[in-house]
Each structure stands twice: as C-alpha cells, then as structure tokens.
Structure 1
Amino acid sequence: MKVNLVIAARDVRANEDTNDLDILGVFTEALPTALPAYVPLLYLIVFCEAETPEFGQDKLIEIHLFDADRNLQQRWHDIFKVPHARRVGERSFAAPIFPLENVPFPKAGGYEFSITVDKRTENSLPFYVHNPPETNEAEEREA
C-alpha cells in the first residue's frame, strides 16, 4: 500500500457512500499561546492506494511525531483493512482518518508526522510550531 498524501485538518467528515471527504481547516503550522503546547484534536488524513493483491489485507499504519532532532514525541497506530477497488481492474483508493488527541509540541520548531505501513516509511508531513506571541501581541490580536 502506497501513501500518496498526508493532510492535517481541524475537522473532517466522510461520506462512505460516495467516498467524499469534507476537510475543514487544513494546517501545517501552529501558533500556541504557551509552550509546551498541546493541540487538543487534530485529524490526520492519509490518502492511500493499493494494488489487487493487497485487497482485503490488514495493514499496520503507524504515525510517529518527531521533533527537529528526530526525538519521538508520540506514536499512534491502527490496523487498516485495504478495501477492494470500486471497479474491476482498478487500484483501490482510501483515506483513513486518524483523530489525534492532545498532540504534544514541547518546544517551538520543526516537527514531522511520519507515516509507516507495515514498518515501511511511506510518507511524511512537515509541521512547524511557532514561539508564542508576546503578551501584548496576543492582546492586540484579540482586540
């Protein structure tokens, strides 16, 4: 199974009948009010494709969050059953959605969500966390 694209979003709704996704608030950066910071809920959408021999197989999908020094911050995982193609002779396309709660960002800087399928790294999503704004700047933005 190949991972073609990874998106972080604030919300997502899936229609299983049509395979449509309504993705809201796509983002790759965070501006926390303080550090360490936690994003209470982030949806990671993993767009995949698979060939015929993989249909019906269970795949271990892991998400590793690394900081800029490649220190592991958090790991999530799930078993995903590869769906059959919608039409004979085609590849299977799917977009498993991972709701990640309390995503930790202990310091400002670059991070990476690394996606592995059955222990093979397939794709990644860079993510940047800014330093919190000065108190006066935060107050001005709220006004």
Structure 2
Amino acid sequence: MTDTSFSAQDGLVALMITVSASDATIRTSELLTIQSIVNHLPIFAGYDEDRMEAVAQTVFDLLEDEDGLDALLGLVRDALPETHRETAYALACDVAAADGNLRQTELRLLREIRYEFDIDPLHAAAIERGARARHMTL
C-alpha cells in the first residue's frame, strides 16, 4: 500500500495479521482462520481480497520499526468506527486461538489491543471465552 491509511475492513485484516505474526511464526491454522473470517463474515461483504497482500506488507513493514506496533494499532483504531472495536478484538482473539496454543507474545498483544481500543474488561473476558470455546478440540 502506498499510503498508510486503511479502510475499516483493511484495519480488521491488518489486526488479524498482526496477531498471527506476533510470535514471529505465521501458522497455517491462523492463515486459514483469517481467510475463513474474510470469506464468511458479513463485515467483509464486498471486501477486495486482493488487498490482503498489500495490507500484510504494510503490517510487516510497520512491525520492523521500533514504534511500529503503536503506529499500526493507531491506524487500525482510526480506521474502525468505535462501535466495531469489540468486533476487531473478537477477530484478534479468534486468530490467536486458532492453533489451540496461546503464546505469551499473543497474550501481550491482546492486552495491548484491549488497552488501545478501550475494551471493557468484562466484555473482553466474554469475547476471549467465546474464542476459546470456538477453537476447542476433542
């Protein structure tokens, strides 16, 4: 992406990619979760999936900078209507839970997202529990 502005949908994709990349390993299960979310959730209706590569490159470029995570979270926050911040957090939790193993880096990032997006702690706990329940295995 030549500029560093996101549509709301780009912001959601960027956040999910950031969670996936947070532990320096992008797992197949996380990529499949992101793809499934983009393909099936109504919030992505009409989204041009060809933008995902450019959004991902922007995420990777920003994460190389010392203050890149703060800049990235600011871009995502600015792109999203306030009413959709919990949705963004829910999608982030789904990607973090996708491989069945939450790592410390993912947990720290989720905490940062909760803070940056001003997610109510009780709402965050409910969102996290829902993600855990959706991604449990037998």
TM-score between the two structures when normalised by the length of structure 2? 0.22
Larger Rg: 1
TM-score between the two structures when normalised by the length of structure 1? 0.21
Higher strand share: 1
- Relative contact order higher in (CA < 8 Å, ≥ 6 apart): 2
